[in-house]
Amino acid sequence: MFIDKSMTKTVITIHPDSDILEAKGMIEKHHIHSIPVVEKDNFLVGIVTDRDIRSALPSALLDDQENKLAKERLARLKIRDIMTANPITVSPAQTLEDALLLMQKVRVGAFPVVDQEGKVIGIISNRDLMRAFINVLGIEEPGTLLCILAENKVGTMKKIVDAISEEKISFGSILVARHWEEGKRVVFPYLLTNHVVRVKKKLQELGFTLLNPMEWYLDRLSDRLD
């Protein structure tokens, strides 16, 4: 899955010499959290976030004199004064997995997507990623997520798939995650049905352990595997 297929292509941008209140209005109007800052020909020079703008605005706790000085200072500020210059970007040819891992690493909510010349052609946000993965996993359709602890050996996945298919149940998707116990994996089949009592019983009879997916914390994996 490539970024150019899931990114937002109609990008709201702003010039570095624009004032902060203009950016605030754009964020509120379009319900966004980040605005790429561009110069001529859409060349990227920075990014400004709603947090940057909130930090620059006067506090409601200021007295009249302090508030007056803060407003005077605000009138002199431009986007270039509060933006993050040379932000982290991604290319349209990178994958959604690349963007997801990078987002987790640097803790930001969106990346400008730029071409080889550094011009903005899109933006990929955590909302875009969530929408893409929901679509790929098929979980927009009603169904049930199972969580199966299984041996990490050849033939195990076939046994699970056969057991489910024999009940004439369709798959929305199936994921496999590492488990901290050596030789184990956790399988997450998303089944396009809410009637799973029989298939759960069959899987248990085959020796599989069923876990509660709501109690499965993927963050524990990285803690134990570091």
SS3 at position 204: helix
Task: Please report, for residues 20, 58, 72, the alpha-carbon distance to residue 61 in angstroms, rounded to integers and kept in the order given.
Answer: 20, 9, 17
What global pTM score does this model have? 0.68
Higher pLDDT: 212 or 200? It is 200
Q: Among 14-23, 33-42, 52-61, 168-177, which stretch is predicted with the lowest mean pLDDT?
A: 52-61
Q: Among 12-26, 35-49, 71-85, 147-161, which stretch is predicted with the lowest mean pLDDT?
A: 71-85
Residues 117-134 pLDDT 10s: 999 999 999 889 888 877
> What single string gives the DSSP state of each residue in 51-97?
HHHHHHSPPTT--HHHHHHHHHHHHH-BHHHHSEES---B-TTSBHH
Tell me: pLDDT of 182 over 80: yes
Residues 101-116 pLDDT 10s: 899 899 888 999 999 9
Q: Please, which residues have CB within 8 angstroms of residue 199's CB and are 6 or more apart in sequence?
A: 146, 163, 164, 167, 169, 191
Residues 63-98 pLDDT 10s: 555 566 666 777 788 999 999 999 999 999 999 889
Tell me how long the chain is: 226
Domains of the chain: 3-134 (3.10.580.10), 138-225 (3.30.70.260)
Using the Cα atoms of residue 188, residue 191, residue 197 and residue 198 in order, give the sign of their dihedral: negative
Instruction: State how far the Cα of 5 lies from the Cα of 17, in Å rounded to an integer.
Output: 32
Tell me: pLDDT of 157 over 60: yes
Q: Please, which residues have CB within 8 angstroms of residue 46's CB and are 6 or more apart in sequence?
A: 16, 36, 37, 79, 80, 83, 84, 85, 86, 87
* Percentage of residues in the chain having pLDDT higher than 70: 87
Q: What is the mean pLDDT of the chain?
A: 86
